[in-house]
Structure 1
Amino acid sequence: MSNGNEGRAPDEVYGLLDQALKRHGLMARGGLYLDSDADLAAREYGFKTVVLAGHAGSSFWPEFERFDKDYDGPDPLDAWSKTIAEQIASEFACKALYPFEKPWWPFQSWIGRTEGLKPSPLAILIHPQYGLWHGYRAAFAFQEAIAIPAPQSLMHACDDCADKPCLSACPAEAVTQHEFRLKQCRGHLTGEEGHNGCLVAGCLARNACPVGSNYRYCDAQLRFHMNALELPGI
């Protein structure tokens, strides 16, 4: 892969990439340098820099809904993400990587190295500003070193939460201090109470978390994610 960023200073690429993402309601979420001795992506593919791309809240939802209106295929959110990421990757002469298809790139490890996020009791990574209302849609891998923000080690919001309302809000008692009981959660959602509760308004435990409440997903996005669970009998 050739370097298509001629004319762009290495310290400009990250900011320009962030601007390109923001045109679609996304944003750059930090980056990392890869080591050929420690990182398979560097050793086998020659990648030197990875920039993560994601969102906070429902910033991308209006554009996705316009895409979904005319899309007739499986996994519409993944398809939209790839459409946007491939366009941007072409513009910046880099490779778009995804957390939802093979090969399974180490997104969890990369997130830990860029933002230092840890899971909440719901098994969702919690951000001190965005709470549980954020995500990662792609990463961009460069075969050159570009300037990136220094890695962060963000505070774990759950450590300072004394009340932990997420634990008591779950009607299935699937959320505990030490584990998320997926089987109990899914079993509850297939019943009448879950069908009329979490499947309509979104996960009640997630909604109960006070961190980042201003970024709570819009109702349409909440319903989309709940419907995507493909529960039996629903």
Structure 2
Amino acid sequence: MTCSSYDDLQSAASQRSLTLLGGFHPDKDEVGLEDCRTLLMVGPDERHFWPRFLRSDEYLDGRPDPVDRWSIRVVGDLATIAGARALYPFGDAPYLSFYQWALRTQNIHISPVRLLVSGDHGLFVSFRGALSLPHRIDLPAAVLSPCIFCATKPCLAACPVDAMGDHEYSDDACRAHVRSSDGHGCLTQGCAVRRACPASLNAGRRPAHSAYHMSEFLRTGP
């Protein structure tokens, strides 16, 4: 069965603990998207993803990269019923332009700290893949950035070690803080900057999900 509309695909994504995060219509013969007429961004349905993932074979088999392997299987399955090609934000270089693709949806925006932000997910917006459809479908209307309506911009002052803000991100400062006793909150609940965003409250992100990604961030870094 091939899903024929955005709403059909959103329903199919929800059944797999995923959600669509908007899309765009690429230019004709765009490099890397030559056969794509509609590109849809796919992220975790934060309210349901983590419990489902913990029950998955990828999590339970003890092998490396369980989230990526889960994504390949589940986003790949979604692509099959959509008649689409699955694309992923991980793997070997050259890496795909997920950051720029997200901005082209006009539903995801650049925050004051330069992390991506959306009204539904705040600074917890993330991607497990994208669907490259060979046909054109209608897309949701553009949504304004939640930052437009945020007077205090708490994200700018939320980092305890000023690792990000209106300046270049300091990976070293972030890792050092998370590894320290003072960084327990970031380690167990997720990045303080992401949590400070008022729109992040809409996401339904579970602390254990954030803690997993923070532990991976430390494990794979220097």
- Say yes or no: does 1:30 pair with 2:18: no
1:141-163 Cα offsets, whole Å, 9 max, x none, are: 122x23221552x3233343332
The number of equivalent residue pairs is 220
- Say yes or no: does 1:18 pair with 2:6: no
Aligned to 1:141: 132
- Say yes or no: does 1:76 pair with 2:73: no
- Residue 30 of structure 1 aligns to a residue whose secondary structure is strand
Structure 1: gaps (5+ residues) = none
Aligned AA (1:164): K
1:26-76 Cα offsets, whole Å, 9 max, x none, are: 122222222234x11343xx2222222113533311111111542322111
- Residue 84 of structure 1 aligns to a residue whose secondary structure is helix
1:184-203 Cα offsets, whole Å, 9 max, x none, are: 21222232322x23112322
User: Which 10-residue stretch deviates more, 75-84 or 129-138?
Assistant: 129-138
User: Residues 189 and 199 of structure 1 are in contact (CA less than 8 Å); yes or no, is this contact kept in structure 2?
Assistant: yes
- Residue 22 of structure 2 aligns to a residue whose secondary structure is strand
Aligned AA (1:228): E
Structure 2: gaps (5+ residues) = none
Q: When the two structures are superposed, what TM-score results if normalisation uses the length of structure 2? A: 0.85
User: C-alpha separation between the residues in 2 aligned to 1:232 and 1:104?
Assistant: 18
Aligned residues with identical type, % of pairs = 32
Q: Which structure has the larger Rg?
A: 1
- Residue 58 of structure 1 aligns to a residue whose secondary structure is coil
Relative to structure 1, is the Cα distance of residues 205 and 150 closer, same or farther in structure 2, using a 3 angstrom cutoff? closer
* Alpha-carbon shift at residue 97 of structure 1 (Å): 0.6
Aligned to 1:113: 104
Aligned to 1:228: 216
User: Residues 119 and 145 of structure 2 are in contact (CA less than 8 Å); yes or no, is this contact kept in structure 1?
Assistant: yes
User: Residues 107 and 118 of structure 2 are in contact (CA less than 8 Å); yes or no, is this contact kept in structure 1?
Assistant: no
- Say yes or no: does 1:41 pair with 2:32: yes
- Aligned counterpart in structure 2 of residue 158 of structure 1, from 133, 142, 147: 147
Aligned to 1:176: 165
- Residue 42 of structure 2 aligns to a residue whose secondary structure is strand
User: C-alpha separation between the residues in 1 aligned to 2:116 and 2:110?
Assistant: 4
User: Residues 34 and 47 of structure 1 are in contact (CA less than 8 Å); yes or no, is this contact kept in structure 2?
Assistant: yes
User: C-alpha separation between the residues in 2 aligned to 1:135 and 1:227?
Assistant: 17
Relative to structure 1, is the Cα distance of residues 197 and 32 closer, same or farther in structure 2, using a 3 angstrom cutoff? closer
- Say yes or no: does 1:209 pair with 2:197: yes
- Residue 74 of structure 1 aligns to a residue whose secondary structure is coil
